[in-house]
Amino acid sequence: MPETSGSTGRSPETHVIDFRAAEQLLAARDPRGAVKLLDGVIAAHPENTAARLLRARAFFAAAQLRPAELEFTVVLEREPDNAYAHYALGRTYERQGRDDQAKRHFRLAAALDPNPRHLKAARFDT
């Protein structure tokens, strides 16, 4: 009998397939479909930061800003040096009109990874 993980009754291989399918759904602009697949992956593997980051991106793309904020925050609790998560959380705050919080995370992202997108968002000149 194949090994299953958690209460989902699905194999670890199925969770990998679901994760990859969620990536494809997000790329195809179906963030809600991606969230549905990732819910099962995260239920079985709550420690999986990559799945949480992907789900945060899907929430953001679906304009579900509060769930996106919560997921990005979980990612940053586990990986405080994740520049992309700081940048994305900043974008989430920005869309909520929380500019001071956004600026803080944009600046952290730029400090961790000074790529042009992060530097532009950080607005160090203001």
Same domain, 50 and 91: no
Same domain, 54 and 6: yes
Asked if residues 58 and 35 have their Cβ atoms less than 8 Å apart, the reply is yes
The tens digit of pLDDT for each residue in 5-32 reads 444 467 889 999 999 999 999 999 999 9
Residue 8 belongs to some domain of the structure: yes
The tens digit of pLDDT for each residue in 38-58 reads 999 999 999 999 999 999 999
Q: How many domains does the chain have?
A: 2
Same domain, 58 and 89: no
Residue recorded with tokens 């963030």: 31
Residue 2 belongs to some domain of the structure: yes
The tens digit of pLDDT for each residue in 57-69 reads 999 999 999 999 9
Inter-CA distances, 42 with 36, 37, 110, Å? 10, 9, 29
- Provide the token pair at 38: 């990732």
This prediction's pTM: 0.89
Same domain, 60 and 85: no
Q: Please, what's the b/e burial string for 5-26 (b: 16 or more CB within 10 A of its CB; e: otherwise)?
A: beebebeeebbeebbeebbebb
Residue 25 belongs to some domain of the structure: yes
pLDDT at residue 94, rounded to an integer: 98
- The range of the structural domain enclosing residue 108 comes to 80-126
Residue recorded with tokens 């549905």: 36
Residue 69 belongs to some domain of the structure: no
Same domain, 58 and 86: no
Same domain, 20 and 45: yes
pLDDT at residue 11, rounded to an integer: 83
Inter-CA distances, 121 with 60, 97, 109, Å? 17, 14, 9
Residue recorded with tokens 């009754």: 9
Same domain, 84 and 33: no
The tens digit of pLDDT for each residue in 72-101 reads 999 999 999 999 999 999 999 999 999 999
